[in-house]
């Protein structure tokens, strides 16, 4: 079936280091991808998005990479801070308006 | 700029009861989607409303129904509650005409069914 999944359920990173969160998707028809951050007790917060006609997009301290050949998406966070500790979800959308989420990666930043 | 708001924040019901959750979209948005998020999992799409009609539906039973009002706000109704309906219910809004479809989420309503 179609699904969006993350390679690792947890990631521990030292404060100040760079973080890389990976995601694999299976629906080749998906043309829009979003990374969300969810802190405990809150709703998902939009981080960055990318369309299938791009392979890289940069934001403030974050970069999303899309490899359509292997259906892989990654989120890179530069100079990880304690406030980056959260669950990160990748989500995909095709032409049916709904977002499909994976199970998420829990990022813990060590001081 | 008002973001997505949801009410109530928390709700406790018993099996068999009915519940109504409410959502106001982000200012300027016209589309509302509802998601169910069980503990430790990613959100699961329930349905989406646009122009006061259900435009798309996920794999949820008919006990889950919704409505969108002319001011774009929306309600999610769940009948005959089951223990398994306990979850965080998220509302997301977007603007259909931009083509970006970026969905912005509210804080959610935590539903507990006893």
* Interface touch B90/A42, C-beta < 8 Å: no
Please give the helix or strand (H or E) that residue A79 lies within, else none: none
Residue in A32, A43, A102 closest to B105 by CB: A43
Asked if A32 reaches chain B (Cβ–Cβ under 8 Å), the answer is: yes
Tell me which of B36, B39, B42 to substitute to probe the interface with A (most A C-beta atoms closer than 10 Å).
B42
Q: Which residues of chain B make contact with A93, given a CB cutoff of 8 A?
A: 101
Cα distance from B96 to chain A (closest Cα, Å)? 10
In whole angstroms, give the CA distance from residue B112 to residue B12: 5
Residue in A45, A93, A103 closest to B42 by CB: A103
Asked if residue A1 has pLDDT above 70, the reply is no
pLDDT in tens, A19-44: 999 999 888 888 899 999 999 989 99
In whole angstroms, give the CA distance from residue B97 to residue A44: 23
Is A79 within 8 Å of A90 (Cβ atoms)?
Answer: no
* Interface touch A102/B42, C-beta < 8 Å: yes
Average pLDDT over chain A reads: 90
* Interface touch A98/B58, C-beta < 8 Å: yes
Asked if residue A93 has pLDDT above 90, the reply is no
Tell which phi-psi region holds residue B108, choosing left (phi > 0), alpha (psi between -120 and 50) or beta.
Answer: left
Average pLDDT per consecutive 10 residues, chain B (114 residues; last block may be shorter):
91 98 95 95 95 93 97 98 98 80 93 98
């Amino acid at each position: 079936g179609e699904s969006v999944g993350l390679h690792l359920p947890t990631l521990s990173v030292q404060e100040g280091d760079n973080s890389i969160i990976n995601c694999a998707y299976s629906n080749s028809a998906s043309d829009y991808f979003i990374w969300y951050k969810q802190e405990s007790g809150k709703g998902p917060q939009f981080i960055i998005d990318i369309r299938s006609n791009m392979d890289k997009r940069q934001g403030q301290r974050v970069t999303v990479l899309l490899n359509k050949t292997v259906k892989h998406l990654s989120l890179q966070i530069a100079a990880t801070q304690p406030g980056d500790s959260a669950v990160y979800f990748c989500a995909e959308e095709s032409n049916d308006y709904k977002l499909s989420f994976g199970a998420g990666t829990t990022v813990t930043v060590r001081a | 700029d008002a973001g997505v708001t949801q009410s109530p924040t928390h709700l406790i019901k018993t099996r068999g009861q009915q519940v109504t959750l409410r959502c106001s979209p982000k200012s300027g948005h016209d589309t509302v989607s509802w998601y169910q998020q069980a503990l430790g999992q990613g959100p699961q799409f329930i349905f989406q409303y646009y122009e006061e009609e259900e435009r798309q539906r996920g794999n949820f039973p008919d006990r889950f129904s919704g409505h969108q009002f002319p001011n774009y706000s929306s309600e999610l109704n769940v009948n005959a509650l089951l223990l398994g309906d306990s979850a965080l219910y998220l509302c997301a809004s977007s603007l259909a005409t931009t083509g970006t479809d970026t969905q912005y989420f509210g804080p959610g309503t935590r539903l507990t069914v006893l």
